[in-house]
Amino acid sequence: MSIIELVDLKKVYMGNHVALDGVSMTIPHSTVFGLLGPNGAGKSTIINILAGVVKRSEGIAKIFGKTIEHDDYIHKKDIGFVLEDPHYLEKLTATEYLHFCGALYELKSTDIKERVNELLTFFDLKGRATSQIETYSNGMKKKVSLAAALIHQPKLLILDEPLEGIDPTSAKQIKDTLRLMADRGVTVVLSSHNLDTVEKFCDEVAIIHKGKLVFQTKTEEIRIKI
Ligand code: ADP
Ligand code: ADP
């Protein structure tokens, strides 16, 4: 079963900038799937369309078989997003931010408390949980974003450059978490401009270049095709 389906997806930003030039692909259930391509290829645009923060110009984007419409948050109950430039509230502490996210998903407050505690422990954030997020390192901020994306135990996780600009320890924690999620049957979709990251980590890869899908392949075959 495919979890994500794109059909001839196009995005033209203001000023006639073509960011996606007809991308079609399907992302299967229970894989770790990489969107690989250089900066400017269109990876974030795909992810932002899936997240509903950018509106597609043409084509179809479906998640769980349902078409994504702008401002349609219904399908998001089963999805966790980590966008590249998270606009979370930096004046909040990690504890406050995670409580806020739990409330957005309408979780019960006792469940939120337990879940926040579990996530802060899991990501080694407890020591700084009552400091404002703006004082955190990039790695810690990424972990807070990931914790927020996991708060409602989604079936699908979509992450934009989750390992970019962070320290090796945080990167390892994030990779281990994503692997653990995948082993539990969560579908993980991530973007990267780093072949090594994708090759070591993903089961399947789509190469994106200049707004087009160049090819999609199982990771073990990637070196043959590049
Ligand atoms: P990637 O994530 O692969 O680096 P993006 O999806 O961010 O690629 O960008 C694809 C192209 O669209 C780039 O040329 C980028 O400059 C352009 N672009 C991205 N966002 C905007 C925007 N809000 N307005 C105009 N152009 C944009
Ligand atoms: P188990 O496999 O028995 O759940 P883990 O060490 O994987 O043990 O997890 C310990 C606790 O942390 C569990 O309560 C689990 O739900 C939670 N947990 C584990 N991984 C994550 C994660 N990536 N995000 C959120 N909670 C997690």
pLDDT tens digits for 110-140?
Answer: 999 999 999 999 999 999 999 999 999 999 9
Q: How far lies 196's CA from each of 4, 34, 192, in Å?
A: 24, 11, 9
pTM for this model (two decimals): 0.86
Minimal CA–CA distance to 95: which of 114, 120, 123, 118?
A: 120
Ligand whose nearest atom lies closest to the CA of 175 = 2
Contact 80, 150 (CB under 8 A): yes
Helical pair 138-150 and 109-122, crossing angle rounded to 10 deg: 140
Q: Whose CA is nearest to atom 6 of ligand 1?
A: 42
Ligand 1: which atom is nearest the Cα of residue 11?
A: 12
> Is the confidence at residue 73, as pLDDT, over 60?
no
Report yes or no for ipTM above 0.90.
no
Q: Which helix (H) or strand (E) holds 104?
A: helix 94-104
